[in-house]
Amino acid sequence: MKLTDTSLLKQQCYINGEWTDADTGQTFAVENPATGEVLAHVPSAGADETRRAIDAARLAQPAWRARTAGERAKILRRWHELLLANQEDLAQLMTAEQGKPLVESRGEIAYAASFIEWFAEEGKRIYGDIIPPHHADKRVLVTKEPIGVCVAITPWNFPSAMITRKAGPALAAGCAMVLKPAEATPLSALALAELAERAGVPKGIFSVVTGDARAIGGEMCANPTVRKLTFTGSTEVGRILMQQCAPTIKKLSLELGGNAPFIVFDDANLDIAVQGAMASKYRNAGQTCVCANRLLIQDGIYDAFVEKLAAAVSALQVGNGADDGVTQGPLIDDAAIAKVEELVDDAREKGARVVCGGKRHALGRTYYQPTILSNVTPAMRLAREEVFGPVAPVFRFKTEAEAVAMANDTEFGLASYFYTENLARTMRVSSALEYGIIGVNTGLISTEVAPFGGMKSSGLGREGSKYGIEDYLEIKHVCIGGI
Ligand code: ADP
């Protein structure tokens, strides 16, 4: 790991503006998934440290809220600029702890920074309403106010962007936030805290607690001071957190699992579809919640599509993400590769054909070959479960109605994609798909300017865009009488 500014590598929690160890003094190791090298040790903090961070947030928030949105925006803009000024170091840290190719890490830092900039501006536009009253002697005012102390639990697949798209709107709105980053990728989170401090974010407004997920998460959910929990991760853990938040009725934002269909109709431009499938499926080695999980291809172009996709996949370079030219890094850990193997084996046993890949990569560790499976059917586990790896299962369909039914036949509803050159079909299918995000003739749908979030078991709430800040606000009605 080559850092120009070594003070970005932090090995302590950041609580109430102080760099601190766990009360027990215990730590855990952060490893590079590409090499197994131990990069750092960070504190194994638990409930007590979390409670202190929440208390500090409670004490700091009123003064932060009392500033004007413009004053908060100035600080957030500095944070944004510091992310960009340190883009290379932050990307090096990210690739080292997460494994994605450097070019993707650099892209994620720019994407992460974009949320801070966007919400710094959006915070200035938290408008209320004056509603025509129900009595002549009354006035009805509606204001939107920061919800208060927020907590965030984030995943390892986007170690920076999943944090900034929560912290950006929270801080812009006048809230304080305590964050628990994923165990695999705490270094990116701690570097963000260091830059927040340099930008002038006041102490207590943004704290980062690393350590035991259950202990930290348990305190975050149970603590009555916390008014909101925002989480990105698995549906399974989302359910647990929702239950744990029920006694204190916290507001929730949940970005959970997906099972994205990627539909290509006979009337699509095949080259554009293959390009989109590559971007959507193999980015981050298939480890994103919006990755195409099921490729649904219409009968007439099925063979041609598979052939073109195989040609594109053969150009992928597997290796250590820090090396030049690498386009696919390792999977995050042993459990991740074991799951990919299980799902591919299940499909193979039930009659899927391995077009390319289909096994671990010769590089060993958690490297998996970029894989395409054809003749995949709804009876296979891949139809229902998120593979979270570089495996493209290709299903066949005959009619538009069949494609829509297959696409919606899942408990999830995050991202979906379809390719067609027919305008009427574009309108019909985008209205029929039960998904929060739909990419039409594109495989890349994430941007700070648009709402990101899912339906059904994929979650609650939206992140990014003008809608994303609403999740951090309460609506207050002030009824003035006797006028
Ligand atoms: P993934 O499959 O992406 O690892 P998880 O839902 O397991 O998804 O993890 C996402 C985040 O949730 C991580 O920060 C992880 O530490 C945290 N997490 C996992 N289990 C719990 C739990 N019981 N309570 C609180 N946080 C948890």
Q: What is the DSSP string of 108-145?
A: HHHHHHHHHHHHHHHGGG---EEEPPSSTT-EEEEEEE
Q: Report CA(313)–ligand 1 centroid distance (Å).
A: 31
Smallest CA separation from ligand 1 atom 11, residue: 155
Does pTM surpass 0.95?
Answer: yes
State whether the beta carbon of 59 lies less than 6 angstroms from ligand 1: no
Q: Report CA(212)–ligand 1 centroid distance (Å).
A: 10
State whether the beta carbon of 240 lies less than 6 angstroms from ligand 1: yes
pLDDT of residue 441: 98
State whether the beta carbon of 270 lies less than 6 angstroms from ligand 1: no
Instruction: Provide long-range contacts, Cβ within 8 A and 24+ apart, for 400-407.
Output: 400/265, 400/425, 400/428, 400/429, 403/263, 403/265, 403/296, 403/298, 403/429, 404/429, 404/432, 404/433, 406/261, 406/294, 406/296, 406/378, 407/261, 407/263, 407/294, 407/296, 407/433, 407/435
Q: Report CA(237)–ligand 1 centroid distance (Å).
A: 6
Q: What's the whole-number average pLDDT of the chain?
A: 98
Measured from the CA of 234, which atom of ligand 1 is nearest?
6
- Which residue of the set 255, 386, 448, 463 is catalytic? 255
pLDDT of residue 25: 98
pLDDT of residue 2: 86
Q: Report CA(232)–ligand 1 centroid distance (Å).
A: 8
Query: Rounded CA gap, 22 and 182, in Å?
Result: 16
Question: Among 179, 237, 334, which residue has the most ligand 1 atoms within 8 Å of its CB, making it the best to mutate?
Answer: 237
Q: Are strands 38-43 and 27-31 parallel, antiparallel or unpaired?
A: antiparallel
pLDDT of residue 271: 98
Task: Please report, for the chain, how many H helices and E strands are present, in that order.
Answer: 14, 22
Q: 345 and 380 in contact (C-beta within 8 Å)? A: no
State whether the beta carbon of 186 lies less than 6 angstroms from ligand 1: no
Q: Report CA(182)–ligand 1 centroid distance (Å).
A: 7
- How far does CA 79 lie from the centroid of its chain? 20
pLDDT of residue 1: 82
State whether the beta carbon of 154 lies less than 6 angstroms from ligand 1: yes
Measured from the CA of 180, which atom of ligand 1 is nearest?
14
Measured from the CA of 238, which atom of ligand 1 is nearest?
6
pLDDT of residue 356: 98
- The complex scores an ipTM of 0.97
Q: Report CA(213)–ligand 1 centroid distance (Å).
A: 7
* 255 catalytically annotated: yes
- Say which residues have a Cβ less than 8 Å from residue 233's Cβ, sequence separation at least 6: 153, 154, 155, 182, 255, 256
Report the SS3 class of residue 200.
coil
State whether the beta carbon of 159 lies less than 6 angstroms from ligand 1: no
Q: 21 and 12 in contact (C-beta within 8 Å)? A: yes
Tens of pLDDT along the chain (483 residues)? Answer: 889 999 999 999 999 999 999 999 999 999 999 999 999 999 999 999 999 999 999 999 999 999 999 999 999 999 999 999 999 999 999 999 999 999 999 999 999 999 999 999 999 999 999 999 999 999 999 999 999 999 999 999 999 999 999 999 999 999 999 999 999 999 999 999 999 999 999 999 999 999 999 999 999 999 999 999 999 999 999 999 999 999 999 999 999 999 999 999 999 999 999 999 999 999 999 999 999 999 999 999 999 999 999 999 999 999 999 999 999 999 999 999 999 999 999 999 999 999 999 999 999 999 999 999 999 999 999 999 999 999 999 999 999 999 999 999 999 999 999 999 999 999 999 999 999 999 999 999 999 999 999 999 999 999 999 999 999 999 999 999 999
Greatest C-alpha distance within the chain: 79
pLDDT of residue 380: 98
Cβ atoms < 10 Å from Cβ of 443: 24
Q: What is the DSSP letter of 321?
A: T
State whether the beta carbon of 28 lies less than 6 angstroms from ligand 1: no
Measured from the CA of 216, which atom of ligand 1 is nearest?
25
Q: Report CA(272)–ligand 1 centroid distance (Å).
A: 35
Q: Give 97-122 pLDDT, tens digit per residue.
A: 999 999 999 999 999 999 999 999 99
Amino acid identity at 337: I
Measured from the CA of 183, which atom of ligand 1 is nearest?
16
Q: CA nearest 284: which of 104, 162, 443, 96?
A: 104
Helix axes 102-122, 87-98, angle to 10 degrees: 120
Q: CB-side exposure of 20: number of CA atoms within 13 Å?
A: 19
pLDDT of residue 363: 98
Q: Give 355-390 pLDDT, tens digit per residue.
A: 999 999 999 999 999 999 999 999 999 999 999 999
State whether the beta carbon of 470 lies less than 6 angstroms from ligand 1: no
Measured from the CA of 388, which atom of ligand 1 is nearest?
2
Report the SS3 class of residue 422.
coil
